[in-house]
Amino acid sequence: MQVIDIPGLDAEVEECIPAALQRQGSVLAHPVFSMYHSETEMMRYMRWLARRDIALDRAMIPLGSCTMKLNAATALAALSYREFNSMHPFAPLEQAQGYQQLFEELEDMLCDLTGFHAFSLQPNAGSQGEYTGLLVIRKYHETRGEGRRDVCLIPASAHGTNPASAVMAGLKVVVIDCDACGNVDLADLRAKAAQHARNLAALMITYPSTHGVFEEGIREVCAIVHEHGGQVYLDGANMNALVGICRPAEIGADVMHVNLHKTFSIPHGGGGPGMGPIGVQLHLAPYLPDHPCVDGVNPAASPAGTIGTVAAAPWGSASILTIAWAYIFMMGAHGLRRATQVAILNANYVARRLAPHFPVLYTGRNSMVAHECIIDLRPLKEATGVSVEDVAKRLIDYGFHAPTVSFPVAGTLMIEPTESENKRELDRFCTALINIRREIAAIESGAAPASNNLLKNAPHTHRLLLQEEWNLPYGKREAFYPMPGIRDDKYWPPVGRIDNVHGDKQLFCGCVPMEEYGQVAEQ
Ligand SMILES: *Cc1c(COP(=O)(O)O)cnc(C)c1O
């Protein structure tokens, strides 16, 4: 019997990677990369990972500003087609006509939904869209002989990426105050726009605002900036409250990004790829990104030059555009509007149910919110020492992912239910929060100790349950099964409370000994 000699065969085959290009250093050295060799093992490993996570397949993820909506399987299907996922970003265009059609149709649909004249599909994230849009604005000023314009006005409520993008684009940030209702303080805006009129480049504004309200002065805000020669950058992260109802370009914005991974259903979280295309008015289209190696990326490119590229690939993470395309196409005009209406309805339902228990920080006219709401925990912190973090961790015991913590206002929770959740799930979530409010009331009344209670010790892990001794001043049932609905399908947090600040200051990796990392680093 002849034995197949694999190393021998291997030696006979000529090496096809040139020696100079072969990697010498060690790579993927962590044992996890060589532990799972069969599909069975891999399947179990992935299931093990998934079980440790609170994802959308378990409960709603009410992360305000993140729009954690359903990523429908049908919209994801095309991504698994070889024709989409095996195309090289620099394949000759005549071999990639399907992609060209996809881009054109998606750009058209986005223009239609937003009212903008043209879209660039190059930016790979909302934050990259911000950077791109601001570069486009700078280029526009430059070509008009106003290159001196380098001041960017940003309201105090803005997402952290706004000032970061502005600084990266070489702009100076001037902060605009917000009034007691959470709106941009128009008097402060007028004063600062006038003060910086000569050098005003842009204003960045989020609509509806990060405070979860439709800012009624938005048109006036845009007009003030235009009066002083500035351009309006609209942060479109909250587009889920607008689609099919209003077109941001008609409000007065000059450029805007859309987070396709929020509003248009591309899965995100855990660092998955996003897409943050920008839409612009006619006068800015000539400066949108193009590409030195690929023609036609910006068909309107100015002879005087565009801003160049902001990503290596001409159309960014093009393959995931299939998801947004499918989402828009399948929802249709009617479905998209309906989704927006239900998203707003759900947020208002949650706000109304929670209002008797937690103050809702900002509401617009008629006491309504937009597609998300902020509940204020600062008074409770004052009274009981219970922090937003304690509530966020306690929600894990109830099987829920926390809402957004301390953004845009420290000490608050921002809840965005999205249109994907039904009333039963919204009620489950509200009931959990209302229950937690009762647990806080016990601390308020002195019935539960201030430093050793259900909230301060959350989340409660199975290790705690297995300890022989139980010295906590409350029962196991309250700790682990605080709500009847979770008896049959309890989520067990894999770790208990960690000390965030300590962790941020002491970087370490618990998986492979540090010395091994030291060796890799030295190579
Ligand atoms: C998510 C978000 C951003 C940043 O978008 P990324 O795609 O995460 O880069 C900017 N502004 C607001 C208000 C957001 O919610």
Q: Is 274 in the pocket of ligand 1 (CB under 6 A)?
A: yes
One-letter amino acid of 30: H
CA of 185 to the centre of ligand 1 (A): 22
Locate the ligand 1 atom nearest the alpha carbon of residue 276 and give its number: 7
- Tens of pLDDT along the chain (523 residues)? 667 788 888 888 888 888 899 888 888 888 888 889 999 999 999 999 999 999 999 999 999 999 999 999 999 999 999 999 999 999 999 999 999 999 999 999 999 999 999 999 999 999 999 999 999 999 999 999 999 999 999 999 999 999 999 999 999 999 999 988 889 999 999 999 999 999 999 999 999 999 999 999 999 999 999 999 999 999 999 999 999 999 999 999 999 999 999 999 999 987 678 999 999 999 999 999 999 999 999 999 999 899 999 999 999 999 999 999 999 999 999 999 999 999 999 999 999 999 999 999 999 988 999 999 999 999 999 999 999 999 999 999 999 999 999 999 999 999 999 999 999 999 999 999 999 999 999 999 999 999 999 999 999 999 999 999 999 999 999 999 999 888 788 999 999 998 888 888 887 665 666 555 445 444 4
Could you tell me the two tokens for 261?
């991974």
Q: 182 CA to middle of ligand 1, Å?
A: 19
- Residue 211 Cα, ligand 1 centroid: separation in angstroms? 14
State which of 63, 65, 154, 405 you would mutate to test the pocket of ligand 1, scoring each by most atoms of that ligand within 8 A of its C-beta: 65
CB 218 within 8 A of CB 203: no
Mutate-to-test residue for ligand 1 from 207, 211, 259, highest number of ligand atoms within 8 A of CB: 259
Q: Is 235 in the pocket of ligand 1 (CB under 6 A)?
A: yes
Nearest CA to ligand 1 atom 15: 65
End-to-end C-alpha distance for the chain, whole angstroms: 45
| Ligand 1 close to Cβ of residue 433 (< 6 A) | no
Do the beta carbons of residue 252 and residue 285 sit within 8 Å? no
Residue 396 burial by CB count (10 A; 0-12/13-18/19+): exposed, middle or buried?
buried
Q: Token pair of 160, please?
A: 């952290």
Burial group, residue 55, by CB count within 10 angstroms (0-12, 13-18, 19+): middle
Q: How many angstroms separate the alpha carbon of residue 29 from the centre of ligand 1?
A: 34
- The fold adopted by the segment(s) 377-502 is Aspartate Aminotransferase, domain 1 (3.90.1150)
CA distances from 508 to 495, 497, 504 (A): 16, 17, 10
User: Which atom of ligand 1 is found nearest the CA of 235?
Assistant: 11
- How many contiguous H segments (helices) and E segments (strands) does the chain have? 19, 10
DSSP code, position 512: S
- The helix, strand and coil proportions of the chain, stated in percent and rounded to the nearest 5, come to 45, 10, 45
Q: Return the closest-CA partner of residue 156 out of 172, 171, 178.
A: 178
Which of 77, 9, 56, 141 lies closest to 420, judged by CA?
56
CA of 234 relative to ligand 1 center, distance in Å? 12
Task: Report which of 319, 320, 311, 289 is spatially closest to residue 302, judged by C-alpha positions.
Answer: 289
Centroid of ligand 1 to alpha carbon of 260 (angstroms): 11
The whole-angstrom separation of Cα 451 and Cα 463 is 21
Q: Say how far apart CA 133 and CA 169 lie, in whole Å.
A: 9
Compute, in degrees rounded to 10, the torsion defined by CA atoms 86, 91, 94, 96.
Answer: 30
Domain 92-328 in this protein, CATH class: alpha beta
Name which residue sits closest to atom 6 of ligand 1, judged by CA: 126
Residue 205 CB–ligand 1 contact under 6 Å: no
d(CA 148, CA 112): 34
- For the Cβ of 276 lying below 6 angstroms from any atom of ligand 1, the answer is yes
Residue with the smallest CA separation from ligand 1 atom 3 is 126
Instruction: For the chain, give every domain's residue range.
Output: 92-328, 377-502
Please tell me if the CB atom of residue 234 comes closer than 6 angstroms to any atom of ligand 1.
Answer: no
| CB of 126 shorter than 6 A to ligand 1 | yes
Q: How far is CA 73 from the centre of its chain?
A: 20
